[in-house]
Structure 1
Amino acid sequence: MKTCAELALAAAALLLPALASAGLFGWPEPPLPAGTQAEPVAERIVFNGLDMRARVFRSSQGVQDIVDYYRKAWNGQVVVNKVGDATVIGHRDGDYFVTVQVSAAGSGSKGDIGIVDVASAPKQPELGKGLPRPMGSKVFNDIAYPDDPVPARTVAMRNSLSPQQNASFFRERLAGDGWKPAADGRCTDDGCVLSYARGDGKMTLVVARAGDGQSQVVINVQQP
């Protein structure tokens, strides 16, 4: 006769895979339909303060087949919306929210799967923290890849300055922060491209007119 300890271990062996797939011991692993190949975009992404994982996929199945698959896999507990040419399927899995965005590709489909840790999301993330920005700028994206071999971060903002005014602001502020030009800056009437280095770090700024008297600034920082 098995002891209580042996019975407990046997029960745990049966339960652990189910608990893991449900996300109780970490990030959930959404199932994939037959004929679907997925690859990770990054091990970890912090998107506007939200900790997330992402994968891209291609499938021999069509868009409606993908939607029907996830409706069944998630017992109908989904929200389905059209976003442009894509269909987005959303599902809450414990402390995580999973989205599958799919669109037609040839005879099959392609898309991406995003998993967001909603439980640990900050209520008011400070987008653009630690980077200079002209007065009146509105930061709308702050995306970091902290676990990549070379950690990277991309910050995007809009403001009412011209590309040349933005370029002058960043030249002055970045010089004060120890960033040195890594190449000659290039400016035209419609935009500017600036490159900087500080130690092993690299920074690229792209400024472009965005219409309505606005400019868009995209800053990419790579810091080993």
Structure 2
Amino acid sequence: MKFAFPIPAGLNVTLRTLAFSLLSGLSATSVAGAWPVLEHPQHARIEPIGDQLRLNGTPMRISRVLTALPVSALATHYRKVLGKPLADAEAGGAQVLAQGRGDFFITITIQPQPEGGSEALVAVADSQAGHPALARPIGLALPANSTLISDLESIDGETASRQLVIANAHGLRTNLDHLSDSLAQRGLHPDGPPLAGREASLVQAFRGASGEARIVLVRREATTHAVLTLLSRRP
């Protein structure tokens, strides 16, 4: 069994820029309850990323579109498909298009590929459905005074993945011990000793009957960031 995270190259850009689209307040007409469907370029390869995704409680659908078109031509295509009003900007070396359609928000992040051509990561978020889930429990005891930076969920067939990114002032070992105890309550135990990186970092893998987990800890400037990835088998 392999981890569903790290998420594909470029998706981090999409997730960051999604916040921009959610705050943009753009409006457009759409059929209530129907997810927007976009027309992709001819001969493009479409790769859905998970059957179901949630970012900080917001349901999402994300697809990776690979095409021989250059970034400029691909951006022109999606500008025509989306129409106006449309937010159009560059972020992190990528071209980002964002649009609101009723309860839905669309973010398209376009960037070149090293071997030529370009890719578009098309994210559609149902912000209305996400509101009741914003305060849902994490289901895991975090170290005291931790800040939850992001919460990404993915369901792909019988495999459910969840990635939590947290930050706090505790040391690496304190974080590792606390999170290890929390995972033990879920039946997940260390799979070998933790691996120490060149810098102030630790990586620990976990296994159990219910699935797998991995903790990546990095400490810089008196702050520890923890990336906890959980992979479980759905009943």
- Contact preservation (8 Å) 1:128, 1:142: no
Partner SS state of residue 73, structure 1: helix
Provide the TM-score with structure 1 as the length reference. Answer: 0.79
1:48 maps to what in 2?
56
Percent identity of paired positions between Structure 1 and Structure 2: 20
Q: Does 1:208 align with 2:218?
A: yes
Q: Does 1:57 align with 2:65?
A: yes
Choose from 128, 133, 151 the match for 1:119: 128
Q: CA deviation at 1:179?
A: 3.6
Distance 2:166 2:215 in 1: 11
Query: In structure 2, what residue type is equivalent to 1:153?
Result: R
Q: Does 1:221 align with 2:226?
A: no
Choose from 97, 104, 107 the match for 2:112: 104
Identify which of structures 1 and 2 has the higher relative contact order when contacts are C-alpha pairs closer than 8 Å and 6+ apart: 2
1:76 maps to what in 2?
84
2:100 maps to what in 1?
92
2:46 maps to what in 1?
38
2:22 maps to what in 1?
none
Distance 2:129 2:103 in 1: 8
- Contact preservation (8 Å) 1:207, 1:216: yes
Distance 1:133 1:25 in 2: 35
Give aligned pairs, total: 202
Q: Which 4+ runs in 1 deviate beyond 4 A?
A: 22-25
Pairwise CA RMSD of aligned residues? 2.4
CA distance 1:164–1:31, shift in 2 (3 Å): same
Provide the TM-score with structure 2 as the length reference. Answer: 0.76
Partner SS state of residue 68, structure 1: helix
- Contact preservation (8 Å) 1:132, 1:173: yes
1:17 maps to what in 2?
none
Instruction: Name which of structure 1's ranges 155-164 and 184-193 shifts more when overlaid on structure 2.
Output: 184-193
- Report the structure number with the largest CA radius of gyration: 1
CA distance 1:179–1:49, shift in 2 (3 Å): same
Query: In structure 2, what residue type is equivalent to 1:195?
Result: A
Query: In structure 1, what residue type is equivalent to 2:92?
Result: G
Q: CA deviation at 1:23?
A: 5.3
Q: CA deviation at 1:40?
A: 0.5
Unmatched 5+ residue regions in structure 2? 1-29
Instruction: Name which of structure 1's ranges 152-161 and 115-124 shifts more when overlaid on structure 2.
Output: 115-124
CA distance 1:135–1:155, shift in 2 (3 Å): same
Partner SS state of residue 164, structure 2: strand
Distance 2:187 2:68 in 1: 51
Q: Does 1:165 align with 2:184?
A: no
1:28 maps to what in 2?
36
1:18 maps to what in 2?
none
Q: Does 1:134 align with 2:163?
A: no
Q: CA deviation at 1:88?
A: 0.6
Unmatched 5+ residue regions in structure 1? 1-21
- Contact preservation (8 Å) 1:103, 1:111: yes
CA distance 1:124–1:25, shift in 2 (3 Å): closer
